[in-house]
Amino acid sequence: MNRLETLIWQNHTLKLLDQNRLPTEVVYHEDKTVEGVFNSIRTMIVRGAPAIGVAAGYGMVLAARNQKSTQKENFLKNLRRQGEYLKTARPTAVNLAWAVDRMLEKAETTIMNNKQANIDTILSILEDEAICIHEEDIQINRQIGLNLLSLVSDGDTILTHCNAGSLATAGYGTALSVFYVAQEQGISLKAYADETRPRLQGARLTAFELSESGVDVTLITDNMAALVMAQGKIDAVVVGCDRVAANGDVANKIGTLGVSLLANHFNIPVYIATPTPTIDMNCPTGIDIPIEERSGEEIRKVNDTAVAPPDVKVYNPAFDVTPARYITAIVTEKGIIRPPFSETLKRIMLS
């Protein structure tokens, strides 16, 4: 089956597969303004760190296009302001700020190196840069899949948490890329997918895209992970992430910490699949990663149906941090990074 495209750039419009409506509806949402992209990121129409980064690139193009009539001397100032606004949509995923900063740098460099360039020329160059970010993500993710494939064997069963597949990226995915690359090479891998409360990305998205692609996938509730590990059903844990700190601590969807602790108890390797733009060498440790807290309604309700008292207090952090000591390896497009992460991450980021 051809995998669904998460993002489509067409006629100066960003079309996003609305992931809040999967798996029952396949609907594309359209954004033509930076405010629209902000809201799509914030409300999780588009989600997953790499996909958010790609969307942010196009969001900056829209920010630039929507001030086409601005005088050139004010163009950069306004674009920077819009970029800072866009960064606040979701603070944990570093790809968002990375893509915004890359687009701003491209605009600044273009204006500095070509003082005669008009606004139309700058817009064209920015659009090309956003398309480049989009295409790079697809190639990066496939290479991550190839690198992950070297760590598993034909017939292995992998447990994954949340959704780090083609729906979370421009294509292939990070954690799920290993299944798609394995298919290309005739290698059989099985998956166990945690449902991933409270937004059920594992149930709604991972189980959906893997089953649609012909991967043997079994869905479990989050609190079943310990049992299936104890029964010897899991050979490896592979998850994506939203930020890697310089010491190797990793922020990923809430529940990842628990999965990693269980895997360590049962001597199961834990692999973090991530593109290098998700590695934040300016963030010393996991303590320094901002953790987004979301509305309590996500826990009080499931599909708009109340499952808890309406006034009960709720704590709803969207992410947790897995300390580096519980991670076997971090798998990037540049290679496989092993402890001591403080040294190996620095080396790979300089390569």
CATH number for the 7-141 domain, one of 3.40.30.10, 1.10.8.50, 1.10.10.10, 1.20.120.420?
1.20.120.420
Is 70 exceeded by the pLDDT of residue 121?
yes
224-279 pLDDT tens trace: 999 999 999 999 999 999 999 999 999 999 999 999 999 999 999 999 999 999 99
Q: In what order do the strands lie in the sheet with 190-194?
A: 216-220, 190-194, 157-160, 236-239, 270-273, 329-332, 335-337
User: How far out from the chain centre does Cα 17 lie?
Assistant: 15
What would the two tokens of residue 147 be?
């690198």
Helix (H, G, I), strand (E, B) or coil at 193: strand
Q: Are 225 and 258 in contact (CB under 8 A)?
A: yes
Across the chain, mean pLDDT equals 96
Predicted local confidence at residue 303, as pLDDT: 85
Asked whether residue 223 carries a pLDDT value surpassing 70, the answer given is yes
Picking from 206, 157, 215, 207, the residue whose alpha carbon sits closest to that of residue 181 is 215
pLDDT at 116: 82
Residue extents of the structural domains in the chain: 7-141, 144-350
Identify the H or E element spanning 256.
helix 256-265
C-alpha separations of 170 from 130, 201, 225 in Å: 12, 17, 29
pLDDT at 180 over 70: yes
Q: What is the pLDDT at residue 93?
A: 81
Q: Which of these, 48, 49, 46, lies nearest to 28 by C-alpha position?
A: 46
The two most distant CA atoms of the chain are separated, in Å, by: 68
Residue type, 45: I
Q: What is the pLDDT of residues 304-336, one digit of tens each?
A: 899 999 999 999 999 999 999 999 999 999 999
Classified by CATH at the fold level, domain 144-350 comes out as Rossmann fold (3.40.50)
Closest CA to 242 of 234, 252, 232: 252
Confidence class for position 67, pLDDT limits 50, 70, 90: confident
Rounded-to-integer distance, Cα 127 and Cα 121, Å: 10
What is 80-145 written as a DSSP string? Answer: HHHHHHHHTT-SS-HHHHHHHHHHHHHHHHHHHH-TT--HHHHHHHHHHHHHHHHHHHHHHHHHHH
Distance CA 243, CA 128 (A): 26
- pLDDT value at residue 209: 96
pTM: 0.90
Catalytic residues: 242
- If pLDDT is split at 50, 70 and 90, which confidence band does 72 have? confident
pLDDT in tens, 279-312: 999 999 999 999 999 999 999 999 889 999 999 9
- 175 within 8 A of 240, measured Cβ to Cβ: yes
CA distances to 25, 47, 49, 230, 346 from 9, rounded to whole Å, are 21, 17, 18, 46, 34
pLDDT at position 1: 42
Share of the chain above pLDDT 90, in %: 92
pLDDT of residue 2: 54
Distance CA 100, CA 82 (A): 9
